[in-house]
Structure 1
């Protein structure tokens, strides 16, 4: 598995180089090389992570393993939607995070054994939560890209990158991603309320409260955009705030337990 991890890292680095080359090109050249490197990297990442998460007795859902899994999901999503959503500029960032988290999960072992096979409803809840977080994290990246474009327009210093998308296109994609993420987050919270009896138990309630708070932030954002036409800085701020709250909900307590208190 070490060999597979090293190969995955090598292909990620090649994918980062290919995506940067694509950004600097006036025409979309090197797409085949980029996709070939990416899919080899993703397959290697999934294989290496699978051995870590499935050690044979239960599932090892340590914080770094979960973070690595999220980065894998985001990389798969971004690879699939990059052409349609014109998200080429975000690919080096996404693949860099996957590289770092794959390396960290391999070098810093952690154990948080669960037994999801005995609770399939919990697997559904966790799956929906990870999908929702991944989509909303991609929306956060689009919000940062929107902030960069907005700043460049106001300072009248437009980017020289030929693959930089128009501001309105990025904004449209941002709201599409937020809407999809809110749907998944709604299903995740609803499945938790329906299946988990201890969702608001002591020591776990903060996850539910913060997740619902993040949901409220995103719903207010969508409502404000639909009703009052919110855009620009307010949209960017609320998008980043919702992502920050959701990150605290998913990883805050795990970071304290597995890193600060270990």
Structure 2
């Protein structure tokens, strides 16, 4: 958490340098140092997630474990994606949210929920579902940053302030690209989940709270991407759809899990 905090502060310093119009070499040094600290933090984060989730051949599905695993994957995908996409400044939101999730795991005391003898195909399904969540989380963060940038333009903020972020059109393209990749992974997650449900329960769809919320989230993102292709939906309209769809996915797993584990403790 300390390393993530340092990385956040370095990105803030990078943005402030950009806004001030300071073109000195340290401006690039800040962002490079931020991602060096962020990468080191992520490696330690992944090690902690592995230690919490793996117990021999079994897998720990407890909320404490899964929150650590999912947040590690979110940061990992963000760091890898930033090598190819201009999304480095998203770290100013991604890293603090990761700190918040890790603080939650420290405060949430739950008993391990062990599933033994999980197959390779099931672990692959689990990995795809976590990657889908991570990609949609990044899309939601991108949507919030896009909304902030658009508000700055409407209020005629300083041009130097806007220079701290990529052009609005680029931000819009990134938003839909992240949402599209997350939607594909979410579709694979629901499809593979239906196959496992058929094998285990004899029914491809067990209508529980998390299943219904996940399907509603899928419908939201499907509608979002359809309206983008068919009607040219703009980023300003996509913000609410993206954040709303992600919140449904969030509630589908973490919301229902918090409630169920709270009830089990009581």
TM-score by length of 2: 0.85
Alignment of structure 1 residues 42-81 onto 2, 5 Å: 42-56=42-56, 58-81=58-81
1:191 corresponds in structure 2 to 192
Alignment of structure 1 residues 105-254 onto 2, 5 Å: 105-115=105-115, 117-158=117-158, 160=161, 162-197=163-198, 198=201, 200-201=205-206, 205-254=208-257
SS of equivalent to 2:29: coil
1:90 aligns with 2:116: no
2:259 aligned to 229, 240, 256, which one? 256
Q: Which segment drifts farther, 240-249 or 92-101?
A: 92-101
Q: In 2, distance between residues paired with 1:109 and 1:217?
A: 33
Q: In 1, distance between residues paired with 2:116 and 2:197?
A: 13
Q: Contact (CA 8 Å) 1:19, 1:92: kept in 2 or not?
A: yes
1:13 aligns with 2:5: yes
Q: Contact (CA 8 Å) 2:52, 2:60: kept in 1 or not?
A: yes
Provide the aligned C-alpha RMSD in A: 2.2
TM-score by length of 1: 0.86
Give CA-to-partner distance per residue, 1:23-56, whole Å, 9 cap, x none.
Answer: 2223422344223212221111111222222244
Give CA-to-partner distance per residue, 1:60-116, whole Å, 9 cap, x none.
Answer: 222132122221111112222235433233213211222232343245332242325
Give CA-to-partner distance per residue, 1:146-192, whole Å, 9 cap, x none.
Answer: 11122222222256164211111110001111111111011111101
Q: In 1, distance between residues paired with 2:233 and 2:99?
A: 36
Structure 2: give runs of 5+ residues left out of the alignment: 19-26
1:6 corresponds in structure 2 to none
Change (3 A) 1:57 1:190: closer
Q: In 1, distance between residues paired with 2:84 and 2:259?
A: 39
